[in-house]
């Protein structure tokens, strides 16, 4: 028998090819056939294996994990496909420090999706029409004992504007409330919610698809937010740009107005009906909790949310349910990479050649904390680092802390960044406070209880930590000049 060719990143077209690709790389994918319970156990296992900060210790950045024996279900579950920057770079055929530039290239050269015929859409190999109970078909993943119920948090929601026809994809957390009902948590202003409100005002349902388990490039592209992707810019065109070929869509079976990702593992078809609302915690006697949120705390249950009515489930034969556990490093990837690209683009437009790279650090869940690496080229660049930080806040409104470092600091190595913050920083002269600015609702320190000067929660003091060397003092800050050696000669292979 011929030995098959190894897969390249460019061969990845869906979750399955992504997992087969990862299996070729030591330490990137681990499988278990030990029976695992979707209630608490799967999340509890992956929390230790690979969720990463801001999940509480013990945790770490580890491999993706495939649970092949899920208690009570004939479906596998995979966690953490994107829970590592290195793995994400492998999957996109890139390098960790290059990812944001790939995203910018994809933004500049988007590729529009195409619609394929039903028989070209593996996601419709199995079609389940009502009546059904979602939780009997798909393993209901519950992360902690206090959670409001089972959540889908890797569901790629797609809908079209009922007036203009423009489309949008976004991941929104969905809590399973009943056999065919789930609540959807929309942050105010999110694009699909704009579509939903228009349909509701016209007294009509909004057809929607939720694709679960897709090419990792699609997930990465999906998490762009305005202003980089304004209303009307379909993030799937960026997913297509990343791969250099269109994402394939298919018309839904039970929702003719909706289209799903043809190569998804599972698709929930459904609609938002006018006026229908629910509380996220209706099944826990309104205990007040939702699920673990990206800043590392248990999220509060939201009330009066839009309700997604499931009208059909389609899936592949032996489907794989893709989940995110934490949220930790996987959220950092999904949220942080597009944020890095948005920041770089805006700063580069304003001050060409100055910003070297950006890293949205796990300490901020990919949203609150960005490290900007800059290069002062002349005395005239002094102060531009702070201008770059201001531009970063403009590029992404939920950003709270910016740490500025010079070009000789490794932004991905927290030790190196803390070294800069210690030896190139004086609190009283190197810190810039911008108090009372809108940040993010999920920062528990951005409240009037924490800071009496704040009138409401979700307002914070944006802060710039300038850990760059003043231009005229450069000579005092030269790092010890070791020689540059090709170390590979001195080490065993593979290390
Ligand atoms: Mn959008």
Digit-by-digit pLDDT tens for the chain (495 residues) are 788 888 999 999 999 999 999 999 999 999 999 999 999 999 999 999 999 999 999 999 999 999 999 999 999 999 999 999 999 999 999 999 999 999 999 999 999 999 999 999 999 999 999 999 999 999 999 999 999 999 999 999 999 999 999 999 999 999 999 999 999 999 888 999 999 999 999 999 999 999 999 999 999 999 888 778 888 899 999 999 999 999 999 999 999 989 999 999 999 999 999 999 999 999 999 999 999 999 999 999 999 999 999 999 999 999 999 999 999 999 999 999 999 999 999 999 999 999 999 999 999 999 999 999 999 999 999 999 999 999 999 999 999 999 999 999 999 999 999 999 999 999 999 999 999 999 998 899 999 999 999 999 999 999 999 999 999 999 999 999 999 999 999 998 765
Query: What are the angstrom distances between the C-alpha of 225 and each of 5, 234, 271, 330?
Result: 38, 11, 23, 17
Q: Which of 15, 9, 11 is nearest to 316 (CA)?
A: 15
Query: What are the angstrom distances between the C-alpha of 349 and each of 34, 79, 87, 341, 397?
Result: 52, 37, 30, 12, 18
The domains located in the chain, with CATH, are: 110-315 (2.30.110.10), 331-477 (3.40.1670.10)
Q: Which of 239, 223, 247, 216 is nearest to 91 (CA)?
A: 216
> What token pair was written down for 231?
């209303």
pLDDT for 244 equals 96
What separation in Å is there between the alpha carbon of 169 and the centre of ligand 1? 6
Q: Is 103 exposed, middle or buried (0-12, 13-18, 19+ CB in 10 A)?
A: buried
What separation in Å is there between the alpha carbon of 66 and the centre of ligand 1? 30
Q: Identify the three-state secondary structure at position 342.
A: helix
pLDDT for 494 equals 66
Tokens 């065919």 sit at which residue?
180
Query: What are the angstrom distances between the C-alpha of 387 and each of 57, 77, 190, 394, 462?
Result: 36, 45, 28, 11, 14
Residues contacting residue 382 through CB under 8 Å, at least 6 positions apart: 376, 470, 471, 472
pLDDT for 447 equals 93
pLDDT for 441 equals 86
Query: Is the Cβ–Cβ distance between 318 and 76 less than 8 Å?
Result: yes
pLDDT for 260 equals 98
Residue 233's CB is within 10 A of a number of other CB atoms, namely: 18
Query: Is the Cβ–Cβ distance between 172 and 192 less than 8 Å?
Result: yes
Compute the distance between CA of residue 93 and CA of residue 82 in angstroms, rounded to an integer. Answer: 14
Could you tell me where the DSSP H helices lie in 188-243? 191-201, 216-222, 236-243
Phi–psi pair at 195, nearest 5 degrees: -60, -45
Q: Which of 253, 264, 232 is nearest to 18 (CA)?
A: 264
What separation in Å is there between the alpha carbon of 248 and the centre of ligand 1? 18
pLDDT for 2 equals 82
Q: Which residues surround ligand 1, an ion (CB under 5 A)?
A: 168, 191, 229
What separation in Å is there between the alpha carbon of 17 and the centre of ligand 1? 27
pLDDT for 36 equals 98
Compute the distance between CA of residue 354 and CA of residue 65 in angstroms, rounded to an integer. Answer: 40
pLDDT for 495 equals 54
Helix H or strand E encompassing 429 = helix 427-430
Helix H or strand E encompassing 104 = helix 99-108
pLDDT for 225 equals 80
What separation in Å is there between the alpha carbon of 219 and the centre of ligand 1? 13
pTM, rounded to two decimals = 0.95
Compute the distance between CA of residue 173 and CA of residue 135 in angstroms, rounded to an integer. Answer: 16
What separation in Å is there between the alpha carbon of 165 and the centre of ligand 1? 14
Residue 30's CB is within 10 A of a number of other CB atoms, namely: 15
Residue 283's CB is within 10 A of a number of other CB atoms, namely: 16
Residues contacting residue 35 through CB under 8 Å, at least 6 positions apart: 69, 70, 71
The catalytic residue positions are: 293
pLDDT for 189 equals 84
Compute the distance between CA of residue 73 and CA of residue 323 in angstroms, rounded to an integer. Answer: 15
What separation in Å is there between the alpha carbon of 144 and the centre of ligand 1? 30
Compute the distance between CA of residue 125 and CA of residue 476 in angstroms, rounded to an integer. Answer: 66
What separation in Å is there between the alpha carbon of 260 and the centre of ligand 1? 16
What separation in Å is there between the alpha carbon of 362 and the centre of ligand 1? 23
Phi–psi pair at 12, nearest 5 degrees: -75, 120
What separation in Å is there between the alpha carbon of 158 and the centre of ligand 1? 10
Strands (E), 262-377: 266-278, 289-292, 298-300, 305-315, 320-323, 355-360, 369-374
DSSP letter (8 states) at residue 63? -
């Amino acid at each position: 028998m011929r030995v098959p060719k190894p897969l390249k990143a460019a061969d990845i077209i869906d979750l399955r090819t992504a997992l087969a690709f990862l299996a070729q790389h030591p330490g990137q994918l681990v499988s278990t056939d030990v029976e695992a319970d979707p209630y608490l156990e799967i999340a509890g296992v992956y929390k230790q294996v690979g969720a990463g900060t801001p999940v509480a210790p013990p945790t770490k950045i580890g491999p993706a994990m495939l649970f092949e024996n899920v208690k009570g279900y004939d479906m596998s579950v995979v966690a953490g496909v994107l829970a590592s920057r290195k793995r994400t770079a492998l999957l996109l055929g890139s390098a960790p420090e290059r990812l944001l530039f790939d995203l910018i290239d994809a933004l500049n050269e988007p590729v529009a999706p195409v619609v394929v015929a039903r028989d070209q859409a593996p996601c419709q190999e199995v079609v389940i029409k009502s009546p059904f109970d979602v939780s009997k078909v798909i393993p209901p993943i519950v992360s902690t004992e206090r959670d409001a119920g089972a959540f889908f948090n890797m569901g790629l929601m797609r809908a079209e504007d009922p007036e203009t026809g423009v489309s949008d994809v976004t991941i929104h957390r969905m809590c399973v409330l009943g056999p065919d009902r789930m609540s959807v948590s929309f942050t105010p202003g999110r694009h699909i919610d704009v579509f939903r409100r228009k349909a509701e005002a016209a007294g009509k349902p909004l057809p929607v698809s939720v694709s679960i388990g897709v090419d990792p490039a699609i997930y990465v592209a999906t998490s762009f937010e305005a202003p980089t992707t304004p209303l009307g810019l379909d993030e799937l065109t960026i997913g297509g740009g990343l791969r250099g070929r269109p994402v394939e869509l298919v018309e839904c079976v039970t929702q003719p107005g909706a289209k799903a990702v043809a190569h998804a593992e599972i698709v929930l078809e459904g609609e938002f009906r006018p006026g229908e609302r629910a509380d996220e915690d209706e099944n826990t006697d309104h205990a007040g909790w939702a699920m673990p949120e990206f800043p590392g705390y248990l999220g509060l249950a939201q009330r009066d949310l839009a309700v997604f009515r499931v009208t059909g489930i389609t899936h592949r034969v032996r489907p794989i349910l893709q989940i995110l556990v934490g949220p930790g490093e996987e959220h950092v990837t999904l949220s942080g990479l597009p944020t890095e690209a948005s920041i770089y683009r805006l700063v580069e437009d304003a001050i060409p050649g100055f910003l070297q790279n950006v890293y949205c650090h796990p300490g901020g869940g990919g949203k609150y904390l960005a490290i900007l690496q800059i290069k002062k080229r002349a005395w005239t660049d002094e102060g531009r680092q702070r201008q770059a930080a201001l531009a970063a806040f403009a590029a992404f409104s939920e950003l709270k802390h910016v740490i500025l470092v010079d070009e000789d600091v490794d932004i991905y190595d927290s030790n190196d960044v803390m070294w800069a913050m210690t030896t190139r920083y004086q609190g009283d002269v190197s810190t810039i406070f911008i108090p009372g600015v809108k940040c993010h609702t999920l920062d528990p320190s951005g409240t009037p209880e924490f800071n009496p000067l704040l009138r409401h929660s979700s307002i914070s003091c944006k802060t710039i930590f300038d850990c760059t060397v003043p231009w005229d003092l450069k000579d005092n800050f030269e790092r010890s000049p070791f020689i540059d050696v090709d170390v590979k000669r001195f080490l065993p292979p593979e290390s």
